[in-house]
Structure 1
Amino acid sequence: MRARRLGLAALALALVGATALAAGPRAGVLLAIGIGFGLVLEGLRFGFAGPWRAMIVERDARGLLAQLLAIGVTAAVIFPLLAANPLELSPAHAPIGIGMILGAFVFGAAMQVVMGCGSGTLVNAGSGNQIGLMALIGFVAGAFLGTLHTDFWAGLGRLPLASAQSLAGPMGGLGLTLIALALVAAGITMRAAPGKRRPPARLLLAALLLAALAVANLAVAGQTWGIVYGLGLWGAKVAQAAGADLGGVAFWANPANASRLEASILTDVTSLTDIGLILGAFLVMRARATPGAPSMALAWRGWGLVLLAGIVLGYSSRVALGCNVGAFFSGISSGSLHGWAWFAAAFVGSVLGLKLRPFVLITPRAMVTP
């Protein structure tokens, strides 16, 4: 067991070193941060979709409260960082719009169908779960397809960009954010079942580690932690390799996106942390005494529905301007009001998704539940 873990640690260091040699030290550090995300999410069983499901079905608030703690701790650190470095660091601010709210609602439903959000899909795939891999393939395709229609969804109408900082300044905005998190946490605690209101030490540790990694990601990448952009970029690169001309697509004609499309994915900060997250989950799975074997719990109909749900998950996350990480976690922790709107819409969508999930016939053994 010890030899196996030492070997896996050596593998991780070798991959980080190879990335640093190929794309520079910053790329190597970002890959290491992504691996850290995967180690925490899979190793400490911290997730997003699963705790929402537990709260809705069982009134178990422990996982959701841990999420709010992680967001609050992250906000307490990055609000001052953003204020002190406005030109170097970018928050996850986005406008609230009709398309964004619809996308978040659909995303919330789809993530309960496939039993994983953006980060959960990466974790499931990295941990060797074949259903998670199928969902990831769909997510990549859907995130790319969503980039083809950004103008349409934006054209449905949106509010002016607003943030906690624009309402009350950096420190006042932080105060508003922490108060809002505390009020939501209090409301959730009141709704929770007895004995399911206090996160265990494992989740508290995971929340603090995620906050530390999110801060490190901001400092190194210059932007908050995200998932969706990298997956959409992968899909665009596949489409381009297959002969698609993306020059006429407004999203990919944007100079910043066009340059990323032409460059190696090792130069894209979101891709690096996405890849690292998959690797981190893989390392945890292989380090366990009895690594779980991939499960084939679905009939053909179920596989098709998982792929379709993955496509919907990716498409809706693009329309919603982020997933549980980019919109909910990073949006709220950096002061964006759209993060709160996303949270409300996606949570309502999750209620619908839980009613739809039995039709996919996913068994409890078939997926881990981050």
Structure 2
Amino acid sequence: MSTLVTSPGATVAAGATRAPSLWAQRLPIAIVVLALFGWLLWSVSSRQALLLLVGVGLGWGLAAARFGFTTGWRILVEQRDPSGVYGQIILLALLAAVSMPMLAHFPETHAALGPPSISLVVGAFVFGLCMQIADGCGSGTLYKAGLGVPLNMGILPLFALGSFLGSVHLNGWLALGATEPVGLVQSFGATGALLATLAALAVVAVGVGLWSGQRFSLRRMPRRWVWGAVVLALFAALNLLIAGQPWGVVYGFGLWAAKGATALGLFDPAQNAFWSDPGHAQRLSQTLLLDVTSITNIGILAGALWVAPRRPQDAKPLTGQQWLIGLAAGFIMGYSSRLAFGCNVGAMVSGISTGSLHGWIWVPMAFLGTLIGIRVRRRFGF
């Protein structure tokens, strides 16, 4: 076979095609993101343009670090490896240290408050169960869909449909029992709320260390969990500063499905307590590009796509039964996330970091669900 000289000391086979460079693969993504950024800046608002870039940063951090909330919990249970949970604790501590003072000093910013309720308890438990079967929470489904994981790509529209139906039924669930949301920053001030949050996170870290037999140590942790936590904390804090509200995922999904159902004449928002609320009704009538959560979700997909060329997915083929169970879990996960006022991002990360009591209720209930979800996952060979 003849060869062609391409540079001193390097040859390639004649007729062979050179694989496109990483930058060549990423160029279309960069062009699309920059074009959308420019259009948002020109036609919508500088805020939405900046939030697109925040979403890209979040998606890049999630995908490049493989910062999986679901995976972190699963490896703790199955392998007694606490590194993923320690990474999440670092994220929560860093983000709380920035978010709580911000909430106290900038009245235009708002905490991710949710009411302690039967809806929250049931929703968090079911969500924790289903996220293990579906191998991804709200953010995990989003960034893995961006990476091209087939199951998560299939789950994404069903998650959106489930989230929409959960919002439609939410008031009925709240009627079963709910109290007013509790905000630690409003109750104790930024300093008191931050000290209480950091103390609670320290207690969790000690408990995890005692159970796993591996005490918290930055030196022993895989680097991806540490720098992933720092990146996510940075961009989540920027989300709060720019948008005036914490990072969320689930609401955008439900809004997408609600707009689709309304456009098809299948749903009348005026007849529903949730979607007839003035704030939700306004978002339903506007373009998705004006919605904060939707634009960051789009950015997360783009950020994951940016990582995808160097993170090829070798997911094992699923059986028909596994596909059916996984997709059903994704739909139920969407429904339960709305009942629980968020997923690992909206309820846990944003809830705890902005001082919402409901975040601290969500975590143990979702973890109990995870213990069952891992068994179901094993039973069906995922």
Query: Which TM-score tier does this pair reach, normalised by the shorter chain?
Result: over 0.9
Task: Indicate if the aligned counterparts of 1:108 and 1:353 stay in contact, CA closer than 8 A.
Answer: yes
Q: Is the 8 A contact 1:138 1:309 kept in 2?
A: no
8 Å contact kept, 2:121–2:340: yes
Partners of 1:149 and 1:23 lie apart in 2 by 32
Structure 1 residues 70 and 242: CA distance shift in structure 2, 3 A: same
Query: Is it true that 1:48 corresponds to 2:69 in the alignment?
Result: yes
- 2:245 aligns with 223
Deviation of 1:206 after TM superposition, in Å, equals 1.1
Aligned-partner residue type, residue 317 of structure 1? S
CA distance in 1 between counterparts of 2:106 and 2:90 reads: 24
Could you report, residue by residue, the CA deviation over 1:70-97 in whole angstroms, capped at 9, with x for unpaired residues? 11111111111100112x1010011211
CA distance in 2, matches of 1:356, 1:54: 15
Which 10-residue stretch deviates more, 191-200 or 229-238?
191-200
Deviation at 1:266, TM superposition (A): 0.2
**Greater shift in the superposed pair: 185-194 or 195-204:** 195-204
TM-score (norm 2): 0.90
2:355 match: secondary structure: coil
Q: Deviations over 1:200-234 (max 9, x none)?
A: 22221111111110110001111000011000000
- Given the alignment, which residue of 213, 227, 233 partners 1:205? 227
Contact 2:104 2:185 in 1 (8 A): no
* Counterpart selection for 1:186 from 186, 201, 206: 206
Q: What is the rounded CA distance, in whole Å, between the counterparts of 1:47 and 1:319 in structure 2? A: 22
Q: Distance in 2 between matches of 1:249 and 1:241?
A: 16
Deviation at 1:9, TM superposition (A): 3.6
Work out whether 1:85 is the aligned partner of 2:106: yes
- 1:296 Cα offset (Å): 6.9
Pair 1:317–1:10, CA change in 2 (3 A): same
Amino-acid identity (%): 42
Return the alpha-carbon distance in structure 2 between the equivalents of residues 166 and 49 of structure 1: 31
Contact 1:34 1:275 in 2 (8 A): yes
Mapped partners of 1:11, 1:195: distance in 2: 45
Q: CA RMSD in A?
A: 1.7
Please list the CA deviations of residues 302-357 of structure 1 after superposition, one character each: whole Å capped at 9, or x if unmatched: 22222211110000000001100000000000001110100010011000101111
Partners of 2:353 and 2:359 in 1: how far apart?
9
Q: 1:278 and 2:290 equivalent? A: no
Give the unaligned 5+ runs of structure 2. Answer: 1-20
Residues 70, 248 of structure 1: CA spacing in aligned structure 2 closer, same or farther, 3 A cutoff?
Answer: same
Distance in 2 between residues matched to 1:60 and 1:265, nearest whole Å: 40
Aligned to 1:366: none
Gaps of 5+ in 1: 363-370
| Displacement after TM superposition at 1:199 (Å) | 2.3
TM-aligned CA distance change 1:25 to 1:360, over 3 Å: farther
Query: Which position in structure 2 is the counterpart of 1:265?
Result: 288
Among 137, 140, 149, the alignment partner of 2:169 is 149
Kindly provide the CA deviation profile for residues 118-172 of structure 1, in whole angstroms up to 9, marking residues without a partner as x: 0000011111111101111210010000011111111111233222224422211
**Contact 1:113–1:360 (Cα < 8 Å) also in 2:** no
Which residue does 2:4 correspond to in 1?
A: none
What is the aligned partner in structure 1 of residue 325 from structure 2? 305
User: Could you tell me which residue of structure 2 aligns to residue 39 of structure 1?
Assistant: 60
Structure 1 CA distance for aligned equivalents of residues 104 and 289 of structure 2: 29
The 3 A distance-change label for structure 1 pair 296 and 179 is closer
Cα distance in 2, alignment partners of residues 195 and 80 from structure 1: 29
Q: C-alpha distance in 1, partners of 2:215/2:207?
A: 16
Q: Which amino acid aligns with 2:47?
A: R
The CA distance in 2 between the partners of 1:5 and 1:135, in whole Å, is: 26
**Displacement after TM superposition at 1:238 (Å):** 1.2
The 8 Å contact of residues 96 and 159 in structure 1, kept in 2 or not, is answered as yes
1:111 maps to which of 106, 109, 131:
131
Aligned pairs for 1:304-323 within 5 A: 304-323=324-343
SS of 2:181 mapped into structure 1: coil
Distance 2:204 2:38 in 1: 42
1:326 aligns with 2:346: yes
CA distance in 2, matches of 1:113, 1:291: 22
Q: CA deviation at 1:45?
A: 1.1
Q: Residues 235-281 of structure 1, C-alpha deviation per residue, up to 9 Å, x if partnerless?
A: 10111122122220111100110110011000000001111111111
The equivalent residue for 1:292 is: 313
